[in-house]
Copies of this chain bind each other. A is one copy, B any other.
Amino acid sequence: MAQRTAPRHRVVIVGAGFGGLFAAKALRRADVDITLINGTAYHLFQPLLYQVATGILSEGEIAPPIREILKRQENVDVKLGWVTDVDVAAKKVLVSAPGIDYSVEYDTLIVGAGASQSYFGNDQFADHAPGMKSIDDALELRARIFGAFELADLHEDPAERERWMTFVVVGAGPTGVEMAGQIAELAHRNLPGQYKHIDPRQARVILIDAVDAVLKTFGDRLSTRALRQLHLLGVEVELETKVVGVDATGIDVDTPRGRERIASMTKMWAAGVAAPPLSRKLAAATGVKTDRAGRILVEPDCTLPGHPEIFAVGDMMALDNLPGVAQVAIQSGRHAADQIKRRLAGRETGRKFTYFDKGSMATISRFHAVASIGKVHVSGFIGWLMWLAVHLLYLVGFKNRVTAVLHWFVSFLGRGRAERVATFQQAYARAAVREYGDPFERRRVTAGPDAGK
């Protein structure tokens, strides 16, 4: 652990998501000692989580070890642990790891602990509709999705079978749209011919959102195209529809037609994010305000008001209504690093963070994506090629790029899904959480690899 007598400026980074990791990388040549603390040993490339959930990629391909990414960077010390609190007066973070609690002192602190799933006050939904924020979530959804087809095949009762063959995705942002599209592809392209008693093509995939458009932030034109493509895939899209209840066998919704119930054993939640508890703790310790989602209202330079030594980046900061996407996290992380370098060089700091919008994109099916880059709107195959290029560019690690391309090749050109394993542990972990208390509670404090998409 860093000593008080350390000669060099000590930077502690909480979270190795897009914000924290890119901040650390940007400090590669800086004369600082960096401690990077994360709740898992890996960086998570969250935009591809849905591909782990639907059997295209293995978890290793989107979650390379932080140590391996940074192994050539001498000035960084990677530590496993959940940051439970920040002692602002003593300038240290308190950390908890399995069987050991420790603290790390900082001169400058960068907090990029990401976001966790928000059920808008209905946390009881989580048991029946897992979110899409972590590898655990993705593997649990994988087990549920493929398991649903297995169980549908066993049931002779038509109603029971239909329940198992109905998949509901809540939230029509990029994650929800991509999940719904991939489940539809599974049902129509990958799984047919593999079951004796069901036709996977009869599976229903229902995408629900309270707003009046899919991919609403992408603008009317792409939204309309995405909707059309989802319909072509056979996805039923229910807009202006609010979820009022979720239980083991179905979901209750308020639609423009009135209240309805959808019988479904497999629900997933991609509807909202909230800042982790660490955000509110930090706000309380510094007297800084948070927005409704719990994000810290930072100064224009991403520091906390009155605390120029503390930066909040990515999903944890509330600034200019910036969206919770990877690029905001990456750029704000780099901005924080840049401010630190300026400060050490004795140059003026307090520079405003300016977000350069590189655009947003979402794949809807293989060979079909929508992308908006500035005023350019692209959809279809060209959009998909752009999606492919961008994701390859940002996917961390050469090895992962090679194997991911291979798996994409197999999945998109062929009919296979390379990763369909479900473990027993996934089935029992949720029950364990109920019994033992939530191990993720700690993770939610700082989690780490949760940079939005």
A residues whose Cβ falls under 8 Å from a Cβ of B: 1, 40-42, 55, 58-61, 63-65, 67-68, 71, 77-81, 97-100, 102, 134-136, 139-140, 146-147, 150-151, 153-156, 193-197, 399-400, 402-403, 406-407, 410, 414, 416, 418-429, 431-433, 435-436, 439-440, 443
Q: Which residues of B contact A429 (CB under 8 A)?
A: 424-425, 428-429, 432
Report the separation of the CA atoms of residues A406 and B414 in the bound assembly, to the nearest whole angstrom: 19
Q: Nearest chain-B residue to A80 (Cβ)?
A: B150
Q: In the bound complex, do residue B403 and residue A71 qualify as a contact, i.e. CB atoms below 8 Å apart?
A: no
Q: Which residues of B contact A100 (CB under 8 A)?
A: 151, 154-155
A193 nearest CB across to chain B (Å):
6
A413 nearest CB across to chain B (Å):
11
Q: In the bound complex, do residue B147 and residue A425 qualify as a contact, i.e. CB atoms below 8 Å apart?
A: no
Q: In the bound complex, do residue A421 and residue B154 qualify as a contact, i.e. CB atoms below 8 Å apart?
A: no
Q: Which residues of B contact A97 (CB under 8 A)?
A: 150-151, 154
Q: In the bound complex, do residue A68 and residue B406 qualify as a contact, i.e. CB atoms below 8 Å apart?
A: no
A250 nearest CB across to chain B (Å):
15
Q: Nearest chain-B residue to A56 (Cβ)?
A: B60
A415 nearest CB across to chain B (Å):
9
Q: In the bound complex, do residue B425 and residue A436 qualify as a contact, i.e. CB atoms below 8 Å apart?
A: no
A275 nearest CB across to chain B (Å):
20
Q: A80-B151, A431-B432 are in contact. List 4 more A-B contacts (CB 8 A).
A: A65-B194, A68-B420, A140-B425, A406-B406
Of the A-B pairs whose beta carbons lie under 8 Å apart in the complex, a sample of 24, sorted by A's number, is: A41-B147, A41-B150, A58-B59, A59-B423, A60-B421, A63-B421, A64-B420, A65-B194, A65-B420, A67-B194, A71-B193, A77-B197, A80-B151, A81-B154, A100-B151, A135-B421, A399-B418, A400-B418, A403-B403, A403-B406, A423-B425, A424-B439, A428-B436, A435-B436
Known contacts A67-B194, A406-B402, A439-B428; is A422 also within 8 Å of B40 by CB?
yes
Report the separation of the CA atoms of residues A419 and B427 in the bound assembly, to the nearest whole angstrom: 22
Residue from the set A55, A134, A151, A432 with the largest chain B CB neighbour count within 10 Å: A432
Q: Which residues of B contact A61 (CB under 8 A)?
A: 58, 418
Q: Nearest chain-B residue to A443 (Cβ)?
A: B424
